Structure 1
Amino acid sequence: MNSQNQIVLSLGSNIGNRLEAIESCVSLIHNEIATVVKVSTIYETPAWGFESEPFYNCAIVIHTTKSPQKILSQILKIEKQLGRIRGKQQGYQARIIDIDIISLNEEIVETENLQIPHKQMQNRMFVLLPMQDLGLNWVHPIVRKSIAELIQVCEDESECKIVGKLTSPIEKLNLQNFNYIAIEGNIGAGKTTLATKIAEDCNAKLVLERFADNPFLPKFYKDQNRYAFPLEMSFLADRYQQLTDDLAQFDLFKDFIVADYHIFKSLIFAKVTLHEDEFRLYKTMFDIIRKEMPKPDLYVYLYQNTDRLLSNIKKRGRSYEQEIPAEYLEKINRGYLDYIKTQTDLNVLVIDISDLDFIKKQSDYVYLLNEINAKIK
């Protein structure tokens, strides 16, 4: 998964129920466009540049891999959906909702219809004060000043009165009530992508399996009989070492831990790949190690059908994975599901994502978050 962009949007409303318009806007953006991870205090401010009713203004932080041009197109649709009608007359107008892109990381974007950072942001207190509330370590890439420094030199003397505070959709989830979430799935299921996205969006410590460093993996796909046992033993040792280290190292600045695997997967893959006598020896070692491993508070298994897995494997283009047979993937899926049925003391969530695309479709990602959140209760 590509690293997500951190985008700040400014929201404003001065027609009708202003608070309701802001709330509806935040919800629509989160459910349809990008993950809303932070929402500022709401301020009431006078209309800027024209005579009209005062505005409610706030700022939000969204995480997304989409381009700013795509975000612009989608927020214009949200404005229209909420009832904004853009008149042909020149100048500022009263509006039920206004959404502006203020910043994209610390990058500069200049196109015919988009300028980032917003060209007027440093002149408007109704943008700067909400943005300051977001607590971002952000520096304007053109004038090289922080938000606090921009506020100090801003000449806008408009009165900005605090009127309320919204909770971001991510904060409402309470995923921090888990200490440790493990996300599992077959090869190509999307577990690493989902774990990474949740970690970025929800302020979690991310633990990713170090499979790329295993020298036996490419050899195994070429000659399974010869390299299955050393591969599975090396994976077991590495998973034990990594999980022991990472789970023991508490991070004061993170709310919980999310990993894209757990030690359980070692037994599942070994049962499929090893001969019977090798597996008996392997399981003896596994049982000793397993006793020392903490259990996740939630174990999520992402199920995808074989055709979808093969398609995902082909798309990501790892050369040593391209010859994986469908039968092998089916055995792994059955192994996971059979094993999960036996774990009566494990908090398990199985989600069939065969028809979901949580990278391209924000609504699918929100669905997964809500399913995970429901397990808290």
Structure 2
Amino acid sequence: MKIVRTTYLSLGTNLGNKIENLQFAIDEINRSLGHVRKISSVYRTKSWGFEGEDFYNICLEVSTSLSPEKMIKAVLEIEGQLGRLRNSQQGYNNRIIDIDILLFDDDIMFYNDLKVPHPEMLNRRFVLEPLSEIAPNVIHPIARKTILACLQNCKDLGVVEKTDAKLIRPISLVEKFNYIAIEGNIGSGKTSLARKIGDDYNAKLVLERFADNPFLPKFYADEDRYAFPLEMSFLADRYHQLTDDIAQFDLFKNFVVSDYYIFKSLIFAQITLPKEEYRLYRKMFDIMYKEIAKPDVYVFLYQNTERLIDNIKKRGRDYEQNIQADYLEKIHKGYLSFIKSKEELNTLIIDVSELDFVNNENDYQIILKQILEFKPG
């Protein structure tokens, strides 16, 4: 599990469309650094230390799992996207964007050019004004005073004017969802995606315990004989796990993400069981289903069959190596039939056939963006 820390950033701009510059930077910070929890008002100040256009300045509170070293790299990339290239030029000048790391929890650090707390923040009213708005009681780790007290003691006489300009704070998965269920065919990457989301957003992770099922290897060796005990054991285990793990509130987790949903049992049972056994199975399922919490969003990962087989071979589970393409296609059709029949389920289908969200951060962000922008109902 990644450790989530709180950092405070200062942003300033005096070129081009200043509000657009700040909003773009906020959105990118939320995407690549961490969850933007607070945004100060926008403050206008005269250019400081040189003749130029007025600056717009803000401060942000961000929850991040990045190290300070990775944070500064991400900050430089965001500045670069807006067209700023830092150089060795001394003094102050016009800037399309300037992003400074002010505080990182209560740490004191010196790393190459990064110094935290920012060595000049206590001398800059245009920093302390917006920072005191969102973090008045935070203690400066060197001055050992609150930010509000630091502002009151600041000797900078520059005029800092609060404006009426509005910025939009990006909504995070943490705020939008309580329960995300991720589904897909065998080898679609649902567990990998659930793990990444759980790790990045401090979510309670509910993973299917297929490895503990003694009937699974036997089923792949003799489907007719072991189909019913396999499906019944899976149903019982999924029911107990979902009712226990999802129902129990965890103060230390932001939301729940699972790599399956209870309807998976019905889909596989339809494929593997003869009609008589399926009817019995369905009666048991319907009783249990009434007790299961429904996800805020049901994410279905679509992978083409060729890539599913390739993924299955790569992960190397012995009992899966003889899975045939026609079996995977039956599962896929079962999922599609289920999705069409359950309009009340908030279903989001994402085609990941051309995405490598495990190794490619941009692909992972594409998926997160689709989940975040999904509108239930």
Confirm or deny a common fold (TM above 0.5).
yes
Q: What residue is the counterpart of 1:285 in the other structure?
A: 284
One-letter amino acid of the structure 2 residue matched with residue 75 of structure 1:
V
Q: What residue is the counterpart of 2:340 in the other structure?
A: 341
Question: How far 1:24 sits from its partner (Å)?
Answer: 2.7
SS at match of 2:37: strand
The TM-score normalised by the length of structure 2 is 0.72
Q: What residue is the counterpart of 1:211 in the other structure?
A: 209
Question: How far 1:134 sits from its partner (Å)?
Answer: 5.5
Distance in 1, matches of 2:241 and 2:264, equals: 14
Residues 29-59 of structure 1: per-residue CA shift (max 9 Å, x gap): 456x455533411342646972455532223
Question: How far 1:291 sits from its partner (Å)?
Answer: 3.3
Distance in 1, matches of 2:143 and 2:313, equals: 44
SS at match of 1:93: coil
Question: How far 1:301 sits from its partner (Å)?
Answer: 0.9
Distance in 1, matches of 2:353 and 2:375, equals: 21
Distance in 2, matches of 1:314 and 1:108, equals: 48
**1:182–1:260 contact (8 Å) kept in structure 2:** yes
Query: Which is higher, the Rg of structure 1 or of structure 2?
Result: 2
Q: Does residue 1:57 correspond to 2:57, yes or no?
A: yes
Residues 46-89 of structure 1: per-residue CA shift (max 9 Å, x gap): 46972455532223455677665555444334324423354653
Distance in 1, matches of 2:316 and 2:54, equals: 56
**2:104–2:117 contact (8 Å) kept in structure 1:** yes
Distance in 2, matches of 1:38 and 1:238, equals: 38
- Residue pairs, 1:344-363, within 5 angstroms: 344-358=343-357, 360-362=360-362
Say if 1:18 and 1:238 are closer, same or farther in 2 by CA, change over 3 A.
Answer: same
Say if 1:313 and 1:156 are closer, same or farther in 2 by CA, change over 3 A.
Answer: farther
Question: How far 1:4 sits from its partner (Å)?
Answer: 6.8
Residues 211-234 of structure 1: per-residue CA shift (max 9 Å, x gap): 27x6226x6236634765544333
**1:43–1:160 contact (8 Å) kept in structure 2:** no
SS at match of 2:171: helix
Distance in 2, matches of 1:199 and 1:165, equals: 32
One-letter amino acid of the structure 1 residue matched with residue 342 of structure 2:
Q
Unpaired runs of 5+ residues, structure 2, are none
Percent identical pairs in the alignment equals 45
Q: Which moved more, 1:92-101 or 1:180-189?
A: 180-189
SS at match of 2:146: helix
Question: How far 1:362 sits from its partner (Å)?
Answer: 4.0
Residues 154-184 of structure 1: per-residue CA shift (max 9 Å, x gap): 643445443344222226x9973x6654332
Say if 1:374 and 1:228 are closer, same or farther in 2 by CA, change over 3 A.
Answer: same
One-letter amino acid of the structure 2 residue matched with residue 346 of structure 1:
L
Q: Which moved more, 1:294-303 or 1:105-114?
A: 105-114
Number of matched residues? 367
Distance in 2, matches of 1:144 and 1:235, equals: 58
Residues 124-151 of structure 1: per-residue CA shift (max 9 Å, x gap): 55445545655699877x6596xx7354
Q: What residue is the counterpart of 2:261 in the other structure?
A: 262
**1:207–1:259 contact (8 Å) kept in structure 2:** yes
The TM-score normalised by the length of structure 1 is 0.72
Say if 1:322 and 1:367 are closer, same or farther in 2 by CA, change over 3 A.
Answer: closer
